[in-house]
Amino acid sequence: MMSMNDPLSTALSKMLNSERIGRKECTIKPVSTLIKKVFKIMNAHKYIGAFKETNDGKGGFIVINLLGNINKCGSVKPRFSCKVEEFTKFEKRYLLARGFGILLISTQQGLMTHDEAKKKNIGGKLIAYCY
């Protein structure tokens, strides 16, 4: 049984494991606003297919269609604060190569990829990565 201290970590590792064994879909429980936002961005960048949220009265769950596009994903612990100038350092740490994969940053303007944050010239907290 995985520890439920970090639902985002649990969701991402469950998704990665399902992807690695070749499943077409994966059920994520529990659901949080952050998890939904992360999935929305991953969907927009074609790492995962469409996902459907179902409310069962017990906190609900999400069923994700997997595309087989994820090599690795995970949440960043501890949640580092990072300025725009520092993105390159974290890209080197968490991603394979420049322009390959996404870092998810929580900013004052909401959750976004590191590329969007660079364009808007705002820093934030590192939440997750995916490539």
In this predicted structure, what is the pLDDT of residue 21?
96
Q: Mean pLDDT score of the chain, rounded to an integer?
A: 94
Chain centre to alpha carbon of residue 116? 15
Please give the CATH topology (third level) of the domain spanning 76-130.
Dna Ligase; domain 1 (3.30.1490)
Kindly report whether the peptide bond that precedes residue 30 is cis, defined as omega within 30 degrees of 0.
yes
- Report pLDDT for 89: 95
Does the pLDDT value for residue 131 go beyond 90?
yes
CA distance 2 to 20: 18
Q: What is the pTM of this model?
A: 0.92
Residue range(s) in the chain whose domain bears CATH number 3.30.1490.10: 76-130
- CATH 3.30.1370.30 given to domain 7-66: yes
pLDDT band at 2 (very low <50, low <70, confident <90, very high): low
Give the mean model confidence (pLDDT) for residues 44-50. 97
